[in-house]
């Protein structure tokens, strides 16, 4: 393994992530249908000399929504402005951003479902007519002044598309639903990242990391870095499946991709709460984690793997969960 001079070595996490991001749709691995649809939209906008339609990217965390927004800006030849829903808590916050956009600029709003309602309502008019109404003054003397905006493309990202109000969702010209990655696609993502990081690693090891990455490129890249660190400290020149497995065991990532928190939840559902369904708030308190983290990150994976089931009364462990933990599946009475 060669000496790595990646941006991460300087402690710059953002620069490290940026170095691994693909810069074009051709470089982007996976999400084939979404890439084809975006390519068609962007090419049509270029041919007509206009800004591309507004785009909503929906899907679980870590699947490439921010990367796709950057690619949209790059391929359309316009600058990118990044912000997030939680930082836009007043209509004035949004008006300040919108009024400073240059023609054709791409505005990316991450977690768009977390914008304040007054800002959402201002965004309706901005997306449709490239105009906002700014209130000047207070009380009976307040007046509304229309402010013309430069044409722009909004790219919104959300992990909770169901939380978006219908008037906002309907104003997007295209909604892309990002899917979890196959192991084969993740292996390609890892091979590309390994080349960028100058890590010598064989295909078996890459496949093992991909299998444990929960269908998510962000997790795959993070695990690759941990495997690289393990091999570096062990003075291994070329990483094989043996080193990959040893590193993943050390970091408590099992063969299904479950980590410590996943197993902690399954242990509770198959142990203390094995006789009854458990509500989300109770589960969060029991493991000392935020409800949002469990609901948005942990639970979808466990449900997808068939390890837990959601019922009207709460969460329950399935027979597969007991089997995975090496426990005997309880027999239901009656």
pLDDT in tens, 36-94: 999 999 999 999 999 999 999 999 889 999 999 999 999 999 999 999 999 998 888 89
In angstroms, how far is CA 210 from the centroid of its own chain? 17
Question: Which is the catalytic residue, given 67, 153, 158, 159?
Answer: 159
Question: Which is the catalytic residue, given 66, 153, 270, 318?
Answer: 66
pTM: 0.85
Looking at the chain, how many residues does it have? Answer: 334
Rounded to an integer, the average pLDDT of 9-24 is: 66
Question: Which is the catalytic residue, given 35, 218, 225, 315?
Answer: 218
Rounded to an integer, the average pLDDT of 1-27 is: 62
Question: Which overall architecture, per CATH, does domain 260-324 show?
Answer: Orthogonal Bundle (1.10)
**pLDDT digits 0-9 by tens, 110-146:** 999 999 998 998 899 899 989 887 766 676 766 777 8
| Number of helices (H), then strands (E), in the chain | 15, 9
Domain 31-177 falls under CATH 3.40.50.300: yes
Task: Report the pLDDT value the prediction gives residue 292, as an integer from 0 to 100.
Answer: 84
Boundaries of every domain in the chain: 31-177, 183-250, 260-324
Active site residue 185: no
Task: Report the pLDDT value the prediction gives residue 4, as an integer from 0 to 100.
Answer: 41
Question: Which is the catalytic residue, given 35, 65, 214, 228?
Answer: 65
Active site residue 218: yes
> CA-to-CA distance for 230 and 225, rounded, in angstroms?
9
Task: Report the pLDDT value the prediction gives residue 92, as an integer from 0 to 100.
Answer: 85
Please identify which residue in the block is written with the tokens 């090419």: 43
Question: Which is the catalytic residue, given 35, 110, 185, 270?
Answer: 110
In contact, 308 and 315? CB cutoff 8 Å: yes
Domain 183-250 falls under CATH 1.10.8.60: yes
Nearest to 66 by CA among 18, 103, 29: 18
Active site residue 110: yes
Nearest to 181 by CA among 60, 92, 91: 60
Average pLDDT value over all residues in the chain? 89
Active site residue 66: yes
């Amino acid at each position: 393994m060669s000496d790595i001079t990646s941006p991460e070595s300087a402690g710059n996490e953002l620069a490290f992530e940026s170095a691994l991001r693909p810069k074009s749709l051709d470089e982007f691995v996976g999400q084939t249908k979404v890439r084809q649809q975006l390519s068609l939209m962007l090419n049509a906008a270029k041919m007509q000399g206009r800004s591309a339609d507004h785009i909503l990217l929906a899907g679980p965390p870590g699947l490439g929504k921010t990367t796709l927004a950057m690619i949209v800006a790059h391929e359309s030849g316009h600058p990118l402005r990044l912000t997030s829903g939680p930082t836009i808590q007043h209509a004035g916050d949004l008006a300040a951003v919108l009024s400073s956009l240059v023609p054709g600029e791409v505005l990316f709003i991450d977690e768009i479902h977390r914008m304040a309602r007054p800002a959402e309502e201002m965004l309706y008019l901005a997306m449709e007519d490239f105009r906002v109404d700014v209130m000047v003054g207070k009380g009976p003397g307040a007046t509304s002044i229309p402010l013309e905006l430069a044409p722009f493309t909004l790219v919104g990202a959300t992990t909770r598309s169901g939380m978006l109000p219908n008037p906002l969702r309907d104003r997007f010209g295209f909604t892309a639903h990002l899917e979890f990655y196959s192991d084969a696609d993740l292996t390609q993502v890892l091979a590309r990242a390994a080349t960028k990081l100058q890590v010598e690693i064989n295909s078996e090891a890459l496949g093992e990391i991909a299998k444990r990455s929960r269908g998510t490129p962000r997790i795959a890249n993070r695990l690759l870095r941990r495997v690289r660190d393990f091999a570096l400290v062990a003075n291994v020149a070329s990483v094989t499946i043996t080193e990959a497995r040893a590193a993943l065991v050390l970091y408590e990532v099992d063969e299904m991709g479950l980590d410590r928190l996943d197993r902690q939840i399954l242990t509770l559902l198959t142990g203390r709460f094995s006789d009854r369904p458990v509500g989300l708030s109770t589960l969060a308190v029991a493991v000392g984690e935020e409800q949002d983290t469990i609901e948005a990150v942990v639970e979808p994976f466990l449900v997808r793997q068939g390890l837990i089931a959601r019922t009207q009364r709460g969460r329950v462990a399935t027979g597969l969960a007991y089997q995975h933990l090496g426990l005997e599946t309880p027999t239901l009475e009656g």
